[in-house]
Amino acid sequence: MLAVLRAKAGLILRVTVLVVAAAVVAVSLMPSTYSASAVVMLDPRKNSVADLQAVLSALPTDPASIQNQIQVLQSRDLAAKVIAKLQLYDDPEFNGMLQKSVGSTLLGLLNPKHWLAGGAPAAPAPDQIRDSIVDNFLSHLSAESVGLSTTVNVTFTSRDAAKAARIADAVAQTYIDGLVETKLKASESTSAWLTQRIRELASQVQRQEAAALTYRAEHHLDSSDAGTALIEQQIGGINGQIIQARADLSAKAAIYDQVERLMKEGRPADVSQIVASPLIIQLRTQQADLLREEAALAIPYGPKHPKRIAVENQLRDLDQKIGEEAARIASALANDVTVARAQLGSLQSSLTSTQHTVSGQDLIAVKLKALEAEADSTRKLYESFLERLRSIQDQDGLLVPDANLISHAAVAGAPTSPPKMLIVLASFPAGILLGCLIAFLQVRLFASPPRRRREPDAPRPVSRPLQPAMAGPPILADVPGAFASGAADQVVDWPASPFSRAVAQLLGRVVPARRSGQARVVAVTALAQDGAGTNLALAMARSAARAGLRTIIVDGHFQQPALARMVGVRLEGGLMDVLQGSVTVNRALTRDPRSNVLMLATQIPPRDANAALASPRVGELFRHLRAICDLVIVATPPVSSSHEAPTFARLSDAVIMAARPEEGPGPRANGALATLSQWRSAPVGLVVVR
């Protein structure tokens, strides 16, 4: 990269000068713009003269509400009001239809939409022009809160400093006027609604009170406790009479039971009611007199004396009369008990009837109370609405906005944009970077990248033409240590080792000089299945990448894939996936972890290797690889034990066959050469591996 930058320093300088000159010209043509800011403060104070919150609550000042007000300041409706107030529809700065230039006219004529429409472009509709002016106006307007305060900066940008200040003040004042207008509209709409609602409630109160009075009159209810007090007093009186009747019945029943018991025992004289009877007292007096007379006659006269018999007959008559009187008194007591019981039953019947009457009147009273409660509720609502209407009337003169314009916009003395000096200074590094990019693209697309210097102790590669296969292959190199595990890593870890120097010498013989736009394909095989051929192919690929060549190594071991396992990578797609068309070449290529070599390895052995080799996609693949890289190395299995090696040898520009010293020219090597000759392979060279 440093070599490219040194070689293309003149180009980079010219590009930088051109970019700086373009920046200077662009800055000189850019119009200057001025900004002006007006400051609006959301005032949380309230008017204590009248309760304006009865209609519309005060504007909150929390961060979310401030952001909402910023959105209002930047709204299209507010912008349209300001544009109409300041008559900005006729300002060319905002109305693009008034600033037609030659460039815009030419661009309009070159627009393909106008060609398809036919004729001249149609004039835009008035609504479209109005929307375009509003969009242009909003692109010059911005609003932002100041820290944690309740103030908002309203900034406007224009080509005229005085115009910017005038528009910024107009936006702020229009916003404040809008707050007052919003309150006024809310008050008017609320008053109208309350007036209509009050009229409805007044009519409703009249209907409900009239219904309650009509119901009371229909059911003959008085105004004392909904007409139920008299009935309740009547029930109380009947309850008292029932109690008295029950007590009287109990007393009379007890007296009658006692009299009946004494009468049955033959002791009527023990009955107090009989004893207290005047007739009984008179009869008892007569009986006493007769007993005294009988006692007086018993002395002088005998039992058969007529006087004694007459007295005894009188005594018997008196006893009979006393018995009859006692029976009459007992019968009178029984009648009293019957009358008391009948009176009690009558009182109970009257109570039951009165209770039924009370139940019916309770239902009537409940409905009456419901009607009266409904009327009372409607009246209270009517009175509250009437009071609310009175409280919000005549407040138009007391409406105070929730925001104040605390700082008018000042006319800017210097333009705020564009930053001309900053643009010119930034054009210098931009020009340098653009020049470097152009230099690298030029080298990448149109020239060969500089080669790396070879190691001082590496022998200079000598270009030598390869001989035909049957004419006896030349020995290209003697590579020691090719059988060691991880031999290909020496090219990266120890470039000065004998193995690395031998591989570099072999690479110089096979790829003598890379021509522009031409890639070389080299197939590497071996006489024995000992891994020396794969180690040699990977080492050559890493050495070529180290020399600055774009190198791709292809794993030609279809039956026993070896390359991916050797470098320790996991494949997303393999060579067979590319030949089948399921994966693209770019996705199948995998980078070697130790170098810049790209690998096209085999992941899964195919079912039919001959069919895969006979596919026309093989030739297309190698043509594509020649187009995208400088060198393609194909690691193939031994010629004598596979069909892959002859196929890849036919598609290559050169074939390298690795052999041990003891396997030099002999029957086995001659047989492999004969097979390659039958396939008309590229020239073959031998490499002695130890």
3-state secondary structure 198-240: HHHHHHHHHHHHHHHHHHHHHCCCCCCHHHCHHHHHHHHHHHH
Mean pLDDT of 105-134: 65
Cα distance between residue 158 and residue 584, in whole Å: 56
Mean pLDDT of 175-194: 82
**What pLDDT score does 80 carry?**
92
Question: For residue 202, is pLDDT > 70?
Answer: yes
**What pLDDT score does 598 carry?**
92
Burial of residue 293 (number of CB atoms within 10 Å: 0-12, 13-18, 19+): middle
**What pLDDT score does 538 carry?**
92
Mean pLDDT of 212-229: 65
For 436-478, what is each residue's pLDDT tens digit?
Answer: 998 888 877 764 444 444 444 443 433 343 333 334 678 888 8
Asked if residue 344 lies in contact with residue 249, where contact means CB atoms within 8 angstroms, the answer is yes
Question: For residue 586, is pLDDT > 80?
Answer: yes
Asked if residue 578 lies in contact with residue 621, where contact means CB atoms within 8 angstroms, the answer is yes
Cα distance between residue 520 and residue 466, in whole Å: 14
Q: What crossing angle do the helices spanning 306-392 and 229-265 adopt, rounded to 10°? A: 160
**What pLDDT score does 455 carry?**
40
Where is pLDDT greater, at 281 or 10? 10
**What pLDDT score does 433 carry?**
93
**What pLDDT score does 469 carry?**
36
**What pLDDT score does 470 carry?**
38
Q: What crossing angle do the helices spanning 161-218 and 76-86 adopt, rounded to 10°? A: 120
Where is pLDDT greater, at 353 or 198? 198
**What pLDDT score does 170 carry?**
92
Asked if residue 547 lies in contact with residue 594, where contact means CB atoms within 8 angstroms, the answer is no
For 379-410, what is each residue's pLDDT tens digit?
Answer: 888 888 888 777 776 555 456 677 888 888 88
Written in H, E and C, the secondary structure of 356-391 is HHHHHHHHHHHHHHHHHHHHHHHHHHHHHHHHHHHH
Arithmetic mean of pLDDT over the chain: 78
Question: For residue 105, is pLDDT > 90?
Answer: no
Cα distance between residue 668 and residue 666, in whole Å: 6
**What pLDDT score does 413 carry?**
79
Rounded to two decimals, the pTM is 0.40
Where is pLDDT greater, at 94 or 113? 94
Question: For residue 175, is pLDDT > 80?
Answer: yes
3-state secondary structure (DSSP) of residue 37? strand
For 34-70, what is each residue's pLDDT tens digit?
Answer: 899 999 988 766 555 544 445 555 566 678 888 888 8
Mean pLDDT of 495-511: 88
Mean pLDDT of 595-616: 82
Question: For residue 678, is pLDDT > 80?
Answer: no
For 309-345, what is each residue's pLDDT tens digit?
Answer: 887 787 778 777 777 777 777 777 778 788 888 887 8
**What pLDDT score does 343 carry?**
81
**What pLDDT score does 229 carry?**
53
Where is pLDDT greater, at 141 or 292? 141
For 251-271, what is each residue's pLDDT tens digit?
Answer: 777 777 777 776 676 666 555
Q: Tokens in use for 595?
A: 């170098």
Mean pLDDT of 351-369: 70
Q: What crossing angle do the helices spanning 126-139 and 76-86 adopt, rounded to 10°? A: 100
Q: Tokens in use for 5?
A: 């930058």
Nearest to 164 by CA among 101, 94, 97: 94
pLDDT-derived band at 155, boundaries 50, 70, 90: very high
Where is pLDDT greater, at 459 or 535? 535
